[in-house]
């Protein structure tokens, strides 16, 4: 592994949720003291069974939830201490692709408008349309989709639009939160191939959140195994497949845990 | 606008509502052209005449043409209800969106204010305010607006809270959009359906409120007419001049039904799956 300055570092991250009951409010930990670093061009997958805290980490990295404690550094800067302009730049460089494409697009916006909203305001209006067309072509969608609304697209097409939208800000890090889990088998394969292509062409780094071990070998270099809010082990994918001694990891890769 | 009207036309409820409201607005706006009678001029020689060719809806207790009075009366009833509900809905939406998007303290304070405001009986306050001063359209609009925004605020707050948790708003935040951009590009378009339909429904209930005030004699003062005051006059001899009460009542009921149908139609057609570009 080539060690350079990490693109993303997470130090002692703790995320908890308040569960309200009729008797008392209870703090429930989703992520307990998690630390890891990611390097440019080395994509990482956070894997584990449902409810182990994977998505909470992704949301913390995107600064969409406030962690209880711990820090998240992007290119060496603490994302919770960024100025407005720094935060804006950070947001443009870290883009998410969410699990359910049906909910990830505004139902009242055409595909063109959804992507247009993500484009930088510095780009000339006349250039924006060409950029949108080229972004859609990048993900295998034609111009005929520009004026369509999300409900007129299939699940796979919607996910492609979400990927095109994420790419429109020219990001460095793409956070893929279960990007194929709500798609059918044929669309799953197409989206994996698309992500693989994009990663190579655009020199992107992925932070992949998944409970499906089968897609790891196509997209990522390193794996972190999570259980009950903690990272059990982290290493390169090949090393983990060959040498992991952890029973939970072995069972996970045998597809016994989902 | 033309696209919206075309969509309303394709919806059964919306179509009927639109026809009723358009006809009533047409009669109201073009009242001076549609009738040659004066709404306040008394003619004691033709008191309480039944509907006939010369007086389509008959005459009232002072010999005034009822059709003319209902036409001119609609101007007061409609202008008060349309303007008061517009103010209420705009203010309620503003409060609802701010409440839904802001943190728990602002949200809590605004919602407690809503709870307190809902505790006031608006009809009695309206009567109190009018009886303290004199009736004016302006006073009535202000009081009706002040005590009618809370339901819209609650409704839009709930919708905003739901929208704020949707994945597409999370994506918008992750894109770097600020709160104002999110409000104008995502929240307002997505709640516009329920806001427009609640406006239409609220206008219907405002007409009833205004008629109630005028019926009690606190609204438009004689010899001017509003639908409620015509009903009030009909109270003197409901059976002797049954047509006075009947036609004024029909005017109120038809208008309220029209606004309610239009509101229901708008609620249906402003759902996302009906929203198409062409």
**Candidates A91, A103, A165; nearest CB to B176:** A91
Please tell me which residue of chain B has the smallest CA distance to A149: B276
Q: Are strands A173-177 and A94-97 parallel, antiparallel or unpaired?
A: parallel
Please tell me which residue of chain B has the smallest CA distance to A86: B176
State the pTM of this model. 0.83
Show pLDDT as tens, one digit a residue, over chain B (278 residues).
787 888 888 899 999 999 999 999 999 999 999 988 888 888 888 888 888 888 888 888 888 999 999 999 999 889 999 999 999 999 999 999 999 998 789 999 999 999 999 988 878 888 888 788 777 788 888 888 988 999 999 999 999 999 999 999 999 999 999 999 999 999 999 998 889 888 998 999 999 988 888 888 887 777 888 888 888 888 877 777 889 989 999 999 999 999 999 988 988 887 655 554 43
pLDDT for position B137? 83
Q: Which residue has the higher pLDDT, A130 or A184?
A: A130
Domains of chain A: 8-253 (3.40.50.300)
d(C-alpha B202, C-alpha B27), whole Å: 21
Inspect the interface and report whether the beta carbons of B175 and A108 lie closer than 8 Å.
no
Q: Which residue has the higher pLDDT, B112 or A123?
A: B112
Using pLDDT thresholds of 50, 70 and 90, give the confidence band for residue A254. confident
Distances in whole angstroms, Cα of residue B241 to Cα of each of B60, B72, B215, B220, B251: 7, 20, 17, 21, 16
Q: Which residues of B touch A169 (CB under 8 A)?
A: 175-176
Looking at residues A2-21, what average pLDDT do you find?
A: 82
Q: Which residue has the higher pLDDT, B157 or A52?
A: B157
Helices (H) and strands (E) in chain B, counts: 13, 0
Q: Are B40 and B46 in contact (CB under 8 A)?
A: no
Size of interface A-B (CB pairs under 8 A): 64
pLDDT for position B218? 82
CA distance B11 to chain A (A): 19
A50-64, A126-140, A236-250, B173-187: least confident range: A236-250
pLDDT for position B72? 92
Instruction: Kindly state the tokens that stand for B181.
Output: 């951009």
Helices (H) and strands (E) in chain A, counts: 10, 10
CA distance A232 to chain B (A): 29
d(C-alpha B61, C-alpha B51), whole Å: 14
Taking residue A4's Cβ as centre, other Cβ atoms within 10 Å add up to 10
Helix B66-101 vs helix B227-234: crossing angle, to nearest 10: 130
pLDDT value at A10 more than 50: yes
Please tell me which residue of chain B has the smallest CA distance to A89: B176
Q: Which residues of A touch B173 (CB under 8 A)?
A: 64, 91
Q: Which residues of B touch A108 (CB under 8 A)?
A: 189-190, 272, 275
Q: Which residues of A touch B175 (CB under 8 A)?
A: 91-92, 95, 117-118, 165, 169
Instruction: Kindly state the tokens that stand for B217.
Output: 């004699």
Please tell me which residue of chain B has the smallest CA distance to A99: B167
d(C-alpha A249, C-alpha A256), whole Å: 10
pLDDT for position A24? 66
The DSSP secondary structure of A68-118, one letter per residue, reads SEEEEEETTEEGGG--HHHHHHHHHHEEEE-S-HHHHS-TTS-HHHHHHHH
pLDDT for position A217? 82
Q: Are B100 and B157 in contact (CB under 8 A)?
A: yes
Q: Which residues of B touch A165 (CB under 8 A)?
A: 171, 175
Q: Are B160 and B191 in contact (CB under 8 A)?
A: yes
Inspect the interface and report whether the beta carbons of A91 and B174 lie closer than 8 Å.
yes
Inspect the interface and report whether the beta carbons of A94 and B275 lie closer than 8 Å.
no
pLDDT for position B130? 79
Q: Which residues of A touch B177 (CB under 8 A)?
A: 117
Inspect the interface and report whether the beta carbons of A117 and B172 lie closer than 8 Å.
yes
């Amino acid at each position: 592994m080539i060690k350079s300055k990490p693109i993303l570092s997470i130090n002692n991250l703790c995320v908890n949720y308040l569960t309200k009951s009729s008797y008392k409010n209870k703090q429930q930990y989703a992520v307990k003291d998690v630390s890891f670093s990611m390097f440019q061009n080395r994509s990482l997958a956070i894997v584990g069974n449902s409810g182990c805290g994977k998505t909470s980490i992704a949301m913390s990295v995107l600064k969409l939830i406030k962690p209880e404690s711990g820090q998240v550094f992007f290119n060496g800067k603490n994302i919770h201490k960024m100025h407005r302009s720094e935060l804006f730049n950070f947001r443009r460089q870290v883009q998410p692709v969410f699990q359910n494409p049906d909910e990830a697009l505004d139902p009242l916006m055409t595909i063109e408008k959804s992507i247009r909203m993500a484009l930088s305001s510095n780009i000339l209006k006349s250039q924006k349309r060409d950029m949108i067309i080229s972004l859609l072509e990048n993900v295998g969608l034609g111009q005929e989709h520009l004026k369509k609304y999300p409900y007129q697209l299939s699940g796979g097409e919607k996910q492609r639009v979400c990927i095109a939208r994420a790419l429109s800000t020219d990001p460095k890090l793409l956070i893929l939160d279960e990007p194929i889990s709500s798609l059918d088998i044929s669309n799953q394969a197409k989206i994996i191939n698309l992500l693989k292509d994009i990663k190579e062409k655009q020199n992107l780094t992925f932070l992949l959140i998944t409970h499906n071990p089968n897609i790891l070998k196509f997209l990522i270099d390193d794996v972190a195994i999570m259980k009950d809010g903690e990272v059990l082990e982290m290493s390169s994918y090949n090393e983990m497949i060959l040498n992991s001694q952890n029973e939970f990891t072995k069972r996970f890769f045998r597809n016994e845990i989902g | 606008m033309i696209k919206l009207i075309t969509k309303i036309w394709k919806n059964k409820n919306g179509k009927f509502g639109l026809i009723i409201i358009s006809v009533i607005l047409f009669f109201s706006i073009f009242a001076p052209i549609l009738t040659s009678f004066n709404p306040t001029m008394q003619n004691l020689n033709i008191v309480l005449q039944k509907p006939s060719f010369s007086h389509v809806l008959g005459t009232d207790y002072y010999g005034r043409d009822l059709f003319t009075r209902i036409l001119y009366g609609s101007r007061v009833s409609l202008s008060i209800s349309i303007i008061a509900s517009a103010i209420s809905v705009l203010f309620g939406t503003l409060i609802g969106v701010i409440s839904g998007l802001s943190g728990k303290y602002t949200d809590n304070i605004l919602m407690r204010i809503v709870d307190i405001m809902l505790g006031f009986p608006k009809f009695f306050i309206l009567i109190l305010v009018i009886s303290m001063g004199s009736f004016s359209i302006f006073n009535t609009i202000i009081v009706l607006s002040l005590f009618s925004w809370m339901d819209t605020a609650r409704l839009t707050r709930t919708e905003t809270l739901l929208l704020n948790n949707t994945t597409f708003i999370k994506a918008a935040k992750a894109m770097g959009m600020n709160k104002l951009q999110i409000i104008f590009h995502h929240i307002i378009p997505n709640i516009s359906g329920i806001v427009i339909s609640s406006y239409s429904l609220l206008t219907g209930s405002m007409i009833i409120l205004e008629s109630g005030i005028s019926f009690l004699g606190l609204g438009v003062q004689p010899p001017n007419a509003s639908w409620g005051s015509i009903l009030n006059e009909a109270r003197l001899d409901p059976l002797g001049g049954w047509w006075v009460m009947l036609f004024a009542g029909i005017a109120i009921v038809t208008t309220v039904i029209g606004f309610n149908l239009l509101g229901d139609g708008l609620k249906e057609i402003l759902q996302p799956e009906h929203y198409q570009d062409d």
